[in-house]
Amino acid sequence: TNGQGFAFKRMEKIKHEYNKLLRKERKKMQPSLIQLEEEYPEHLRHLYLAERERLDEEQEKRRKDVKGEHSHKTPFIRRKQKMSSYQKTRQEYERIIGERARKREEFLKGKAQREEALKKYKEKKIATYQLLKRKTKKGQPNLNLHMEILLQKIQTPCK
């Protein structure tokens, strides 16, 4: 299965796409890393170093926790660990793609809700304007409608 043919090219393509995604993710995470020691102000250097030590200890603790979890897993999950690197990269790639799709879906859902709320608000505003602009036969503003609108505002519960 090594070295030639359509399946190999497809596998290489997927590995390349996955590695590309990983590079992008690392690039995004880069600015959040702690500054280099040379860039620390002299009077605050000890604080930055202490923070770095604390973060290193947390990472080491997480690694130990992960190793501890791997030691007592069910046979089904052990079988899952024996996947080839191709399968692992494919699975990770699909997970990242799914996560992006989910985020996009949430964004579109929020956008639709905002648009709907804005539409309702504008309709309500136009309706009140239509009532407020009415005049009597003599051209005076219709104060009865004004009073009704004010009464409705008072009666609606405050948020």
Length of the chain (residues): 159
More confident residue, 31 or 57: 57
Q: Are 24 and 97 in contact (CB under 8 A)?
A: no
- pLDDT bin (cut points 50, 70, 90) of residue 51 is confident
Selection from 20, 2, 3 nearest residue 89 by Cα = 20
Distance CA 145, CA 130 (A): 10
Distance CA 150, CA 130 (A): 15
Q: Are 106 and 124 in contact (CB under 8 A)?
A: no
Q: Which two tokens stand for residue 127?
A: 């309706």
User: At a CB cut-off of 8 Å and minimum separation 6, what does 2 contact?
Assistant: 8
Distance CA 1, CA 127 (A): 71
pTM value is 0.39
Selection from 28, 27, 21 nearest residue 93 by Cα = 21
Q: Identify the pLDDT of residue 52.
A: 86
For the stretch 89-145, pLDDT in tens is: 999 999 999 999 999 999 999 999 999 999 999 999 999 999 899 999 999 999 999
